[in-house]
Amino acid sequence: MISTAGIIIIGDEILSGRTKDTNINWIASELNNVGIRLIEARIIADDMDTIIKTIQTFSKNFTYVFSCGGIGPTHDDITTEAVAKAFNQKLEKNSEAMRRLKVHYEGTNIEFNEARQKMAIIPTNSTLIDNPVSAAPGYKIENLFVFAGVPKIMQGMFHTILNELTGGKKLLSKTVSSNIGEGLIAKNLEKIENDFVGVKIGSYPYFKPGNFGTSIVLRSENTTQLNKASEAVLSAVIKLGGKGKIFEEGQVDERNL
């Protein structure tokens, strides 16, 4: 069985265009590396009903759900309250989270005040997720991992829970870079995808000054099928009068650079 995932990014600052989200792409790559399929990502506002409904929908539909943002000490941090409501749990001051935060603030000139203590309040039946960057923990409840929104903290939290995730086989990929138009090879790609079971083919045109072509990305769990299909794509490129080259994963850059 393939494990699936959904990502929920919570924050008005992303939707206003002020902050560029980088968490989706980062988590997407990490999940891909361990063979978990990211099925959908949503960026939603700091709105209680929306957060609750999105969590419930994703929790039902996917193996794992990751949320980023809204667990800080201020009034606009409403994720934890929404999570509790989504899973019909109460909120409680978690003693271990309190202990960690106390230790963190001890010996600093920062007061461990009521607002900061809010970061130790999490839904009942949650387990803490370590925060290797600052002290305030994330938490897991059912199949939802609740992370901070700050990328460095989120990344630290993600890596502490990575070994809890059960992935499938990693989806391998190869890219055939070619100097022919997407429209010329469209029919061939459809046929090759049908011929090689388990191989998915996407095509991505690129344009650069004085230069255009198509990057054809093949993905499969099966190395043999992937290699054969890549060769078939390259043959098709050449038969159509073009030039092409097969690249291993990570060798070529994104389109549109």
CA 167 to chain centre: 14
* Spatial contact of 150 and 71, defined as CB atoms under 8 Å apart: no
Min separation Cβ 26 and a second copy, Å: 8
Min separation Cβ 231 and a second copy, Å: 19
Min separation Cβ 87 and a second copy, Å: 22
Of 126 and 173, nearer to a second copy (C-beta) is 173
Amino acid at 66: F
Instruction: Give the count of alpha carbons within 13 A of 224, CB side only.
Output: 1
Spell out a b/e string for 124-141, using b for 16 or more CB atoms within 10 Å of the CB, else e.
eebebbebeeebbbbbbb
Cα distances from 108 to residues 34, 104, 136, in angstroms, run: 39, 8, 15
Question: How many other β-carbons are positioned within 10 Å of the β-carbon of residue 44?
Answer: 20
Of 32 and 160, nearer to a second copy (C-beta) is 32
Min separation Cβ 164 and a second copy, Å: 20
Min separation Cβ 2 and a second copy, Å: 13
- Classify burial at 218, counting beta carbons within 10 Å of its beta carbon; exposed 0-12, middle 13-18, buried 19 or more: buried
Of 87 and 206, nearer to a second copy (C-beta) is 206
Of 6 and 141, nearer to a second copy (C-beta) is 6
Of 46 and 100, nearer to a second copy (C-beta) is 46
Min separation Cβ 4 and a second copy, Å: 10
Instruction: Give the count of alpha carbons within 13 A of 227, CB side only.
Output: 3
Min separation Cβ 37 and a second copy, Å: 8
Q: What are phi and psi of 40, to 5 degrees?
A: -160, 150
Of 83 and 216, nearer to a second copy (C-beta) is 216
The residues facing 201 across adjacent strands are: 218
Of 33 and 124, nearer to a second copy (C-beta) is 33
- The token duo for 236 is 């098709």
Residue 148: closest CA among 70, 84, 211: 70
